Amino acid sequence: LPAPWAWRESRSERGSWYCVNEATGERRWDAPGAEAKVVVRHVLVKHAGSKRPSSHRTATIALSKADAAAELEALRAAVAAAEDRAGALAAAARDRSDCPSSAKDGQLKPFARGELDKSFEAAAFALEPGALSGVVDTPSGLHLILRLS
């Protein structure tokens, strides 16, 4: 670690380590200078109240938010039950996602905090690799997120 940073073991969570800036007292779970990035696949289902209620699939989206949520809940159940979650979500993204990333199996480029919508980022960073989110609401629409790494 660069000076004045040092690793410290958490007293409340033995076996977990965090970084502390010995000059300022700032604490963080990730190492400074090596900002964490995540890689995710997602399915976006836009609804009539979305920021831009249109997509490469549909010129004008009239789907209600409740119907979009129900569709994603059903999709979530199917993906969660699949032996290959990443493959199942990739197929769902190709077939249903309103995001242009559907052409890439719903996979986004690696991103760090501060690059995308805050609620999308919060959900993505809260997931462990291989974990599937619940329905995530953003101005763009509703998402189902699978963290790859």
Same domain, 70 and 114: yes
**What is the CATH number for 99?**
3.10.50.40
Percentage of the residues of the chain whose pLDDT score is greater than 70: 97
Q: Is the pLDDT of residue 34 over 70?
A: no
Residue carrying the six token digits 């760090």: 112
83: left (phi over 0), alpha (psi -120 to 50) or beta: alpha
Instruction: Name the most confidently modeled range: 11-15, 20-24, 29-33, 38-42.
Output: 38-42
Establish how many alpha carbons lie within 13 A of residue 135's alpha carbon, considering only the half-sphere containing its beta carbon.
18
Instruction: Report the number of distinct structural domains present in the chain.
Output: 2
32-57 mean pLDDT? 90
- Report CA-CA distances (Å) from 100 to 31, 56, 63, 84: 33, 7, 18, 23
Same domain, 21 and 54: no
Q: Are 142 and 45 in contact (CB under 8 A)?
A: yes
Q: How confident is the model over 78-110, as pLDDT tens digits? A: 999 999 999 999 999 999 999 999 999 999 998
Question: Whole-model pTM?
Answer: 0.77
Residue partners of 138: CB distance under 8 A and separation at least 6: 117, 119, 120
pLDDT value of residue 70: 98
SS3 assignment, position 65: helix
Same domain, 130 and 73: yes
Measured over the CA atoms of residue 55, residue 42, residue 104 and residue 95, the dihedral's sign is: negative
- Report CA-CA distances (Å) from 9 to 17, 33, 125: 4, 20, 22
pLDDT value of residue 67: 98
Same domain, 24 and 44: no
Same domain, 107 and 121: yes
Which structural domain range is residue 29 located in? 1-34
135 vs 10, more confident: 135
SS3 assignment, position 9: strand
Instruction: With cut-offs at 50, 70 and 90, classify the pLDDT of residue 148.
Output: very high
